[in-house]
Structure 1
Amino acid sequence: MLLLNSESNPVNNNTNDNDKVVEITNLDFYFGSGALKKQILFDINLTLKKGEVVIMKGPSGSGKTTLLTLMGALRSSSHGSLKVFGKELVNGKDKLLIETRCNIGYIFQAHNLLKSLTARQNVQMSIELHNHISSKEAKLRSIEMLNAVGLGDHINYYPENLSGGQKQRVAIARALVSHPKMVLADEPTAALDSKSGRDVVDIMENLAKNQGCTILIVTHDDRILDVAERIIELEDGHLISNLSEL
C-alpha cells in the first residue's frame, strides 16, 4: 500500500482519462468574504481513479470534510479546477451540481436516517430520486440491498429500534442502492465499536467493488486503514505527499 496524494505519483500520471472519476488541479477554497474571508484549502491536486478505495486522514479542522463536500457537488468553489465524472464543477451551475450528486452515494457519521421511515423506506428514498425507476422496482432493489448488508430481517424496523451498527448498514445500503459511480464516506466508523466499524467498512468495500465504483473514506480510525489502496493526508488545508511504503 502506498501513502500518497497527488499527480506526483507515477501511477496517477499513467491513468487513462476514462478512468479518472475525480481530477482536481490547483484547487483553493475560501469561506466568508471581505475582512472575514478565510482560505480553507490550498492548491489541492488530486486524482481518484475508477474502482479504487482511498482513505483521507488529517487532524480535525484540516479541511477534509470541506474537500469531501466539494467532490460531492454539495458546494462549489470558484478557484482552480475540480472535474467529477469529466465535468468541471468549479463555478458550476446548480443543474450540473444536482446531476452530479445523483451519481454519488453519501455515508456520514450521523447516519442521517429519517426517524419516521423504516429501514426499507430510508433506502428506497434514495432510488426515487431517479425518475426512470418505478416505485415497485425501487422497493425490490431496496429490499435486495438490505439483504446484502445483512439486514434482511430488519427491513421494516424504524431507526430507533436499530443499533448504531445497523443504522450505519442502512446508510450504506442507501448510498449504494442506486449503483453510484462514487461513494463518499465521512467518518463512517466514528460512533461504532471495533467490530461494528470493521463490519460496515468491509460491507461498503465489498458492495462498492462489486458495483465498480470509487470509494473515498474520511477517517481518524487507524483500524480500517488496510482497506485502502491509497492513503492521502490533509493538514492545514494542504495535501501532504509521501511515497513511502506502509
Structure 2
Amino acid sequence: MMQESLPVISDSTAFDLESAIVIKNLNHYFGEGGLRKQVLFDINLEISVGEIVIMTGPSGSGKTTLLTLMGGLRSAQEGSLQILGQEICGARKQQLTQLRRQIGYIFQAHNLMTFLTARENVRMSLELHDQFLNEDINTKAIAMLETVGLGDRVNYYPEKLSGGQKQRVAIARALVSHPKIVLADEPTAALDKKSGRDVVELMQKLAKEQGCTILLVTHDNRILDIADRIIYMEDGQLKSDGADAVTNMH
C-alpha cells in the first residue's frame, strides 16, 4: 500500500496537536537472523506539545536508540510511533527527511562544521527550510547567536571557541528554525557545572518562548529541575515515569 508523503508543516500551519510524540507498543531490534537482538521492549510514551521531558537511565539502556527513532534518524520497526501527528513506523526515507526538518537536534559532540564560522553553522540550519529563503538568514543567524550570548563570536571558527561556546552554537543551530521538537542527547556532558546549567536554562527559555517540545537525555543530576517530567529507562524498557524516576537515579 502506498503511504502518503508527509505534509510539510510550515510556520503558518495551524498547529493544534495536544501531543507532540505518541509511542505505543514500540519494539526495536539490531542485527539480522541469528544475530538479531531486541534493544527496545514495548515502549509506551506520550509527550505533550511544549513539555520539557528528561530521559535518564544507565548507559546501554536504549535511551539514544529511542531518541534516534523519534528524530527519524532511523526507521521504527514494530508498534506505533507518531511524531507531530504523523505515523512514522515503517515510513519511507522521504517521509523521514520531511519530518527531520521539524526537529532540532543537539548532540553531546556538538557536531559543528569545523570549516564554517559560528554564523555559517547556524545559517546552514535555515537553508534547509524553503520558508526562510526569502528572509535575511544572515541577520536571523546572528540574532540567534546573540540570544545565546555569542554576539561577539559570530565570525569565530569552532577551534577558537570553548566547549560551552560550541554547545551554545549547536543550540542556536537547533532552535533558529523554530522546530516543533528539540531532541538533545547528553548536551551538558562535556561542560562544567556553570556552562551546563546555562545551556539547559537557555534551552528551557527558548523552548517556552517558541512553544517547542524538548526531550533531553542526560545523566546530569544537576539539571533535573528544569524538566516538567522525568522518565527512567533500563534494559530497553521504560521503568518509571514521573517523580519516582528521580529516586531511581540516586
TM over 0.5: yes
In structure 2, the CA distance between the partners of 1:118 and 1:136, relative to structure 1 (3 Å rule), is farther
Match of 2:8 in 1: none
Partners of 1:194 and 1:119 in 2: CA distance: 23
CA contact (8 A) 2:189 2:220 kept: yes
- 1:148 and 2:174 correspond: no
**What are the residue-to-residue correspondences of 1:1-246 with 2, within 5 Å?**
18-134=17-133, 137-244=136-243
CA contact (8 A) 2:118 2:153 kept: yes
For structure 1, the 5+ residue unaligned runs are: 1-16
Partners of 2:233 and 2:183 in 1: CA distance: 16
In structure 2, the CA distance between the partners of 1:138 and 1:238, relative to structure 1 (3 Å rule), is same
CA contact (8 A) 1:113 1:171 kept: yes
Instruction: Kindly tell me the number of residue pairs found equivalent between the two proteins.
Output: 230
**Which string of whole-angstrom CA distances, capped at 9 and with x for unpartnered residues, describes residues 131-168 of structure 1?**
23227521111001000000001000000000000000
CA contact (8 A) 1:109 1:189 kept: yes
CA contact (8 A) 2:23 2:80 kept: yes
CA contact (8 A) 1:128 1:135 kept: no
The range that moved more, 17-26 or 93-102, is: 17-26
Partners of 1:122 and 1:236 in 2: CA distance: 36
Q: What's the CA shift for 1:88?
A: 0.5
Partners of 2:77 and 2:177 in 1: CA distance: 30
Partners of 2:241 and 2:36 in 1: CA distance: 30
CA contact (8 A) 2:230 2:241 kept: no
TM-score (norm 2): 0.90
CA contact (8 A) 2:142 2:154 kept: yes
TM-score (norm 1): 0.91
For structure 2, the 5+ residue unaligned runs are: 1-15
Q: What's the CA shift for 1:41?
A: 0.2
Q: What's the CA shift for 1:242?
A: 4.9
In structure 2, the CA distance between the partners of 1:125 and 1:242, relative to structure 1 (3 Å rule), is closer
Partners of 1:55 and 1:44 in 2: CA distance: 16
Partners of 1:21 and 1:199 in 2: CA distance: 26
Tell me the SS of whatever aligns to 1:150: coil
Q: What's the CA shift for 1:42?
A: 0.1
Runs of 4+ with >2 A deviation: 241-246
Partners of 1:135 and 1:220 in 2: CA distance: 41
**Which string of whole-angstrom CA distances, capped at 9 and with x for unpartnered residues, describes residues 6-33 of structure 1?**
xxxxxxxxxxx82110000000000011
Task: Point out which structure has higher relative CO (alpha carbons under 8 A, 6+ apart).
Answer: 1
Partners of 2:130 and 2:243 in 1: CA distance: 46
CA contact (8 A) 2:229 2:243 kept: no
RMSD of the alignment, in Å?
1.3
Q: Give, as a single letter, the amino acid of the residue that structure 2 aligns with 1:189.
A: T
Partners of 2:167 and 2:131 in 1: CA distance: 27
